[in-house]
Amino acid sequence: MSKPPTRSPRPTRPPALAPLAPDSLALALTAAAEAIAAVRAGRSLNDGLAALWRAYPELPAAQRGAVMDLAYGTLRDCGRGDAVLGRLLQNPLTEELNHALLLVAWHRLETRPEQAHTIVDQTVEASARIARGGLKGLVNGVLRNALRQRDTLTAFLDRDEEARLRHPLWWITRLRKQFPQDWEAILAAGNLHPPMSLRVNPRRGSREAVAARLAEAGHATRPLGEQGLAMERPAPVAALPGFAEGLFSVQDWGAQQAAPQLDVRPGMRVLDACAAPGGKTAHMLELVDCELLALDADAARASRVSDNLQRLGLQADVRTADARRAADWWDGRPFDRILADVPCSASGVVRRHPDIKWLRRPEDIGSFATIQAEILEALWPLLGPGGKMLYVTCSVFPEENSLQVARFAARHADCARLPLAGALERSMLPNADHDGFYYALLEKQS
């Protein structure tokens, strides 16, 4: 899937970690605050963290893990920290980094109340070292006031819908209207830690052998479908035995449904139109020998497709190109199968990318729908008679899913919707086993 566009970010400052002890909570709080400030400025969390790692390559792995836990946790708590600070601050902070630091500190106080004294002390230390605005006394006062008012603040947050459900109010309102029976479950799933699933590469070994090797290393798994393994506990993928050898890939169980549903057969000419990072591309090639062209509009992301294929021992024609501009890359030969895993709001994978809750705006849904329609219109003429296109999003919003496909089918008399699992579409709402995905299979009539 191509990287979704985000708002244009404001420039960010270099991180302020240098004066702090490398193994201190103060440093972890400050680094996480830098990442949060970057997200609030319009950047993705991945970009914010990458900037930190580049600036401070000497940070030990344990401290990086602590920073990531704080940043991800703070972003999952969308709405709570700002609601608390709105009650405790007489005037909004003009310094974004100090505001972000207080957001991180509040998250830590909520999740580790037994460490309250240390958290306050280390947050004050971090604020003093940041030395932007001389707010050490204010930070100390706000946090101690938060501790004194803990019960009152908890009751207040329980009454505030945005804070209680940890999603933007517009998002909550939209889901309540569109999913009157499931909206609360969807929101709850979006606040969980994501599951970790593996997809075994049958060209390199059996699922049973991979599971046994992981078990020997202390990683318990359970089977999912034909090729999947659910990890009982997530672990750094690079440390898992067999990953570097291409025995498996990390791929959400919901995403693993794409390749089998497209029904690729040996020798077919296949297009993966928005391929990065390459999980679905690789899955198709693991299942069947075919002539596969993988596109992505971003050169860096396209290179990740190539890297993943190389690790797995697979081959495809990988190019950097915009799927909407077929004249730039299409050779005129029709495709038998097209996978259109289009850019979307990513609202179905928000627990994996909690910065989405901060970055998305209501108007973004319509913008994504426009891009999706453009991609569908550009790709349909490239599909040969009797060919099939699988439309995929990792969104839960109907504007990007069922409504999008219905409008497309209505515009094209040669488009037939084929059943998936006994229905005209497959909407996988996020749950404990998988993220949120949408699938629709379209066939081009002769």
> For the segment 105-122, what is each residue's pLDDT rounded down to a tens digit?
999 999 999 999 999 999
**What is the per-residue pLDDT for 58?**
86
Each residue's pLDDT tens digit, 315-338: 999 999 999 999 999 999 999 999
In sequence order, the β-bridge partners of residue 292 are 270
Beta bridge partners of 250: 198
Alpha helices for 343-442 (secondary structure H): 356-359, 362-379, 402-411
**Integer Cα distance of 35 and 33 in angstroms:** 5
Question: Strand, helix or coil at 383?
Answer: strand
Cβ proximity of 187 and 237 under 8 Å: no
Counting residues of the chain whose pLDDT is more than 70, the rounded percentage is 95
Determine the average pLDDT of the residues in 186-208: 96
How many CA atoms, within 13 angstroms, populate the side-chain half-sphere of residue 428?
23
Separation between Cα atoms, residue 395 and residue 171, nearest integer Å: 12
Q: Examine the pLDDT at 225 and tell me if it is beyond 80.
A: yes
Q: What pLDDT, on a 0 to 100 scale, did the predictor assign at position 8?
A: 46
Please list, in sequence order, all residues whose beta carbon lies within 8 angstroms of the beta carbon of residue 45, skipping any fewer than 6 positions away.
Answer: 35, 38, 39, 71, 72, 75, 353, 354, 355
Q: How high is the pLDDT of residue 12? A: 44
What's the CA gap between 31 and 37, in Å, rounded?
Answer: 10
- Say whether pLDDT at 11 is over 60: no
Q: Cα dist. 231→223, 259, 383 in Å? A: 9, 21, 38
Bridge partners of 271, per DSSP, are: 293, 338
Q: Cα(first)–Cα(last) distance of the chain, in Å? A: 29
pLDDT-based confidence at residue 21 (cuts at 50, 70, 90): confident
DSSP calls for 338-369: EEEE-----GGGTTT-TTHHHH--HHHHHHHH
Residue 50: CB partners within 8 Å, gap ≥ 6?
Answer: none
User: Among this protein's residues, is 394 annotated catalytic?
Assistant: yes
Which architecture, in CATH terms, is 25-162?
Answer: Orthogonal Bundle (1.10)
At how many degrees (to 10) do helices 362-379 and 402-411 cross? 40
Would you say the C-alpha torsion 188, 151, 170, 67 has a positive or negative sign? negative
CB-neighbour burial class of residue 164 (10 A; exposed 0-12, middle 13-18, buried 19+): middle
Domain boundaries, the chain: 25-162, 197-250, 255-444
pLDDT for 56 equals 86
Nearest to 199 by CA among 167, 155, 237: 237
Contacts of 374 (CB under 8 A, 6+ apart): 324
Q: Contact, 45 vs 124, CB < 8 A?
A: no
| CATH match for 255-444 among 3.40.50.150, 3.40.50.920, 3.20.80.10, 3.40.50.2300 | 3.40.50.150
Q: What percent of the chain has pLDDT over 90?
A: 87
Those residues with Cβ within 8 angstroms of residue 269's Cβ, 6 or more apart along the chain or in another chain: 290, 291, 293, 333, 334, 335, 336, 337
Residue 133 or 348, more confident: 348
Instruction: Please state the rounded mean pLDDT for residues 338-365.
Output: 97
CA distance 349 to 430: 8
pTM of the model: 0.92
Query: 360 and 347 in contact (C-beta within 8 Å)?
Result: yes
Identify the architecture of domain 197-250 in CATH: 2-Layer Sandwich (3.30)
- Active-site pick, 78, 344, 394, 415: 394
Closest by CA position to 139, among listed 153, 150, 128, 152: 128
pLDDT at res. 1: 58
Q: How many CA atoms lie within 13 A of 446 on its CB side?
A: 1
Dist. CA 434–CA 428, nearest whole Å:
8
Q: Which residue has the tokens 């729908």?
A: 369
Q: What is the mean pLDDT of residues 157-172?
A: 97
DSSP 198: E
b/e for 82-101, b at 16 or more Cβ within 10 A?
bbbbeebeeeebeebbbbbb
- pLDDT for residue 135: 77
- Alpha-carbon gap, residue 282 to 270, rounded angstroms: 12
Q: Decide if 309 contacts 285 (C-beta within 8 A).
A: yes
2, pLDDT greater than 50: no
